[in-house]
Amino acid sequence: RVSPFPFLALLILQIGYKDSILNTTVFAKVQYLFYIYSISAAALSSALAARCNLVYSSLPWIDCLTYCAKKNQTLLTMKVSTDAFDVAATGFTIWIGLNSTRLNWTWSNGQQAAYTSWLPRVSSSSGNCAMVNSDGYWEDDACTATHPFICYTGSI
């Protein structure tokens, strides 16, 4: 019998591997969010999770960009609001591939940011690099600050 009330569950897999670029052990965390109806489950964001690599090592923004490039990946970009909330599920404030020069926010691939999800407050920061907080909102920070980040393959 299938319950009429879905339950939300989160499966977290953590895998450690030796990273030759950072010369340290990196722990990649893959998360799957499930709606559970008795014995059936449907993954909500498995397509996103399959192409993303959350790197816990906190690095400056430009070093994150370089790290991802060495892995033949790119720093995460976002096109729709659900992307930010999928990322927020990590529970971390992480760098994304968005930075600013002269108030023009562009993705690391050179495209203008058509979709934005800025924190609804006036920023006191004069940062030129963007991150997603654990609530799914974007914030700016100094590019020299260090945060975890997500590299991804393909486009989201």
Amino acid found at 29: K
Between strands 40-43 and 52-59, the pairing is unpaired
pLDDT tens track for 8-31: 444 444 455 566 666 665 555 544
> How many residues make up the chain in this entry?
156
pLDDT value of residue 40: 25
Domain locations in the chain as residue ranges: 7-152
Alpha carbons 12 and 1: distance in angstroms, whole number: 27
pLDDT 10s digits, 78-127: 765 555 556 666 677 889 999 998 778 898 888 888 778 888 775 556 78
For residues 140 and 132, the answer to whether their CB atoms sit within 8 Å is: no
pTM: 0.64
Residue 73: CB partners within 8 Å, gap ≥ 6?
A: 53, 151, 152, 153
pLDDT of residue 99: 92
Looking at the domain 7-152, which fold is it? Mannose-Binding Protein A; Chain A (3.10.100)
